[in-house]
Amino acid sequence: MGELRIIDNEGEDYLYPTEYFETVLFPTTRKPDETATIHLDALTKAILWAEATAARKSISALLRDWIDERLDLPA
């Protein structure tokens, strides 16, 4: 398969195999104020933990920042 480029808050980019990720489809009826839960395999969680540690953030904060940057969400 291919690779997915991930860019961190400092602009550094990393390539990860696409099999580390899966598409998550949300129902169109979901309310915007509801939460989403993402389950990670041990390897992906370890990678995210290392990235979050390097950025001095929690994994949740790292993921929120990543989503916010890509979706250009309102403040």
The Cα–Cα gap between 52 and 9 comes to: 11
Q: Between these two residues, 30 and 27, which has the higher pLDDT value?
A: 27
Residue 62 neighbours by CB distance under 10 Å: 20
pLDDT, position 14 = 85
pLDDT tens digits, 34-53: 667 777 888 988 888 898 89
Residues 6+ apart with CB under 8 A from 8: 14, 51, 55
- What's the whole-number average pLDDT of the chain? 80
pLDDT tens digits, 53-70: 998 988 888 888 888 878
Residues 6+ apart with CB under 8 A from 47: 16, 20
pTM higher than 0.75: no
